[in-house]
């Protein structure tokens, strides 16, 4: 164990940082829209069950593995896997995955930053025109916004675990909650908002089918930042005296609560402005909802509350999305950064320079793959149609590799690390060092049906 490894200074620091990772763009728009389209309260119940019975155990396994190893995923798998090649591969995959996901998430975060600046500058009317998003993604202004986002992220990460990630989370997460509550309160006072609440909450079990169930599990898995090596890395910054199980539970509850509360903002806003909305017609894509649909909602709102007030509301919305995205991005970039520090034995500063260069180059490739650079926009005939670099990264890493990484950690616990070790790790830091029913459940589930379910999701995506 490295003597100098930094640790979170408190349990709350860890919880806010991990919740910051989990609460992302998916919570604000993706979850509420998926719930409304797929049976409202019925979807919420299924989602909550998945969080509790499937995702929480995987989350605790990742955190336990990280704390036991005191290393980021690459070395954690290598050391606890006793150097076996297959586990080294799993560690490698858990390092490269967050890097690639960071690329496409960075592109979206840079767009959000651009929209934030534009709405702050009073250009809401332009953002709401149908052609705007298409022009925006093909504009070289992207580079300026990218520089801005890169500076903010490096500013946080250079501070390390306590003075960087933990401190930023302690400021940004309460700010995020405040903005969310502010927007929910405001939206619920609009006429017809409650029709949206009704659509969101009233259960319709007839909508539930195999693909909805599959989608709910995938959404819960991503939303809790599983399979990305993040919780292994953050777990490695956890002190031995800290209680992993309680912390994990609080992170899962916070993430789910934010997604749920976001539904009380997103749906009522849509229904207040477009009372005739048919939930079926809402786009599945968070990207098109955020960048095409929402500016229109805010512009339409200006008819009743005035342009200035609508611009303020839009600015708060994009700031909320930006904060959610930044805290997720920081967590995901920390994984390859800390792996690089460990593997090459270099300082955080050096690792961030290398990471910054690699990430910037790939982000530019992905960002210019919407038409600016034809080579990148028709990158491959992957899956039978020509796809941009951005789409390929999304499909391969987000859709397919995440469940695979989840499956690998279950197999690792079951066959290499052994379940008793995980249980012992989870019990450490508990008030009485006794194995609770939850820990027993985790050890049973991780070694039996969870890997089977993840294997099914993985095979469905390939």
- Contacts of range 304-312, beta carbons closer than 8 Å, 24 or more positions apart: 304/190, 307/122, 307/124, 307/125, 310/124, 311/119, 311/120, 311/122, 311/124
Q: Distance of alpha carbon 80 from its chain centroid, rounded?
A: 27
Q: How far is the CB of 416 from ligand PFF (least distance, A)?
A: 26
Q: Does 24 bind ligand PFF (CB under 6 A)?
A: yes
User: Is residue 21 close enough to count as binding ligand PFF by CB under 6 A?
Assistant: yes
Identify residues 218-277 at the interface with ligand PFF (CB under 6 A). 222-223, 225
- Report H helices in 228-306: 230-236, 244-273, 286-288, 294-305
Give me the least distance between CB of 337 and ligand PFF, in Å please: 13
Residues touching ligand PFF, count (CB under 6 A): 16
Q: How far is the CB of 107 from ligand PFF (least distance, A)?
A: 11
Q: Does 332 bind ligand PFF (CB under 6 A)?
A: yes
Q: What angle do CA 9, 441, 210 make, to 5 degrees?
A: 105
310 vs 298: CA distance, rounded Å: 6
Residue 384 Cβ, how far from ligand PFF at the closest point, in Å? 27
**Residue 26 binds ligand PFF (CB under 6 A):** yes
User: 141 is written with which tokens?
Assistant: 């202004």
The region of 19-27, 120-128, 408-416, 419-427 touching ligand PFF under the rule CB under 6 A is 19-27
User: According to the binding rule CB under 6 A, does residue 173 interact with ligand PFF?
Assistant: no
Residue 390 within binding range of ligand PFF, rule CB under 6 A = no
- Could you tell me the two tokens for 378? 């028709």
The HSE-up count of residue 173 (CA atoms within 13 Å, CB side) is 24
Task: Considering only the stretches 99-107, 142-150, 287-295, 423-431, report the one whose residues sit in contact with ligand PFF under the rule CB under 6 A.
Answer: 99-107
Among positions 43, 50, 77, 105, the unique one binding ligand PFF when judged by CB under 6 A: 105
Write the CA distances from 185 to 90, 193, 378, integer angstroms: 45, 11, 44
Give the C-alpha separation, 283 to 57, whole Å. 31
Residue 16 interacting with ligand PFF (CB under 6 A): no
According to the binding rule CB under 6 A, does residue 112 interact with ligand PFF? no
Sequence-distant (6+) residues with CB within 8 A of 169 are: 13, 16, 17, 19, 20, 327
Based on the shown chain and the rule CB under 6 A, indicate whether residue 328 belongs to the binding site for ligand PFF: yes
Instruction: Please give the residue whose beta carbon sits closest to ligand PFF in the complex.
Output: 24
64 sits near ligand PFF (criterion: CB under 6 A)? no
Q: Summarize as ranges the residues that interact with ligand PFF (CB under 6 A).
A: 21-22, 24-27, 101-102, 105, 222-223, 225, 328-329, 331-332
């Amino acid at each position: 164990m490295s003597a100098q490894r930094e640790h979170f200074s408190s349990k709350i620091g860890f919880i806010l940082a991990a919740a910051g990772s989990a609460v992302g763009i998916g919570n604000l728009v993706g979850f509420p829209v998926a719930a409304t389209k797929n049976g409202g309260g019925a979807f919420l119940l299924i989602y909550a069950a998945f969080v509790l019975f499937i995702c929480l155990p995987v989350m605790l396994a990742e955190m336990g593995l990280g704390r036991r190893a005191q290393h980021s995923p690459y070395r954690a798998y290598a050391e606890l896997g006793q150097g076996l090649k297959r586990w080294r591969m799993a560690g490698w995959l858990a390092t490269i995955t967050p890097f690639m996901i960071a690329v496409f998430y960075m592109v979206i975060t840079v767009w959000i930053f651009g929209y934030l600046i534009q709405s702050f500058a009073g250009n809401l009317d332009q953002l709401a025109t149908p052609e705007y998003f298409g022009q925006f993604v093909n504009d070289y202004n992207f580079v300026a916004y990218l520089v801005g986002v890169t500076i903010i992220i490096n500013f946080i990460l250079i501070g390390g675990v306590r003075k960087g990630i933990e401190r930023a989370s302690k400021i940004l997460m309460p700010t995020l909650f405040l903005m969310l509550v502010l927007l929910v309160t405001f939206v619920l006072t609009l006429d017809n908002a409650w029709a949206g609440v009704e659509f969101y909450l009233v259960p319709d079990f007839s909508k539930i089918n195999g693909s909805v169930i599959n989608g709910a599990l995938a959404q819960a898995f991503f939303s809790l930042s599983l399979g990305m090596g993040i919780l292994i890395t953050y777990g490695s910054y956890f002190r031995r005296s800290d209680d992993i199980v309680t912390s994990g539970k609080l992170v899962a509850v916070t993430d789910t609560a934010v997604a749920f509360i976001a539904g009380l903002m997103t749906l009522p806003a849509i229904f207040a402005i477009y009372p005739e909305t048919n939930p079926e017609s809402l786009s599945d894509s968070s990207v098109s909802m955020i960048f095409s649909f929402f500016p229109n909602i805010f512009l339409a709102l200006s008819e009743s509350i005035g342009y200035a007030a609508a611009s303020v509301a839009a600015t708060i919305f994009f700031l909320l999305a930006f904060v959610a995205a930044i805290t997720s991005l920081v967590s995901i970039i920390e994984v390859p950064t800390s792996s690089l520090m460990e593997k090459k034995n270099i300082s955080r500063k050096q690792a961030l320079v290398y990471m910054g260069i690699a990430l910037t180059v790939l982000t530019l490739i992905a960002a210019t793959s919407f038409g600016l650079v034809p080579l990148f926009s028709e990158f491959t005939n992957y899956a039978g149609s020509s796809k941009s670099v951005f789409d390929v990264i999304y499909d391969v890493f987000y859709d397919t590799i995440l469940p695979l990484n989840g499956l690998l950690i279950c197999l690792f616990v079951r066959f290499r690390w052994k379940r008793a070790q995980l249980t012992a790790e989870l019990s450490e830091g508990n008030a009485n060092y006794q194995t609770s029913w939850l820990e027993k459940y985790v050890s049973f589930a991780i070694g039996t049906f969870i890997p089977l379910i993840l294997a099914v999701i993985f095979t469905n995506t390939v």
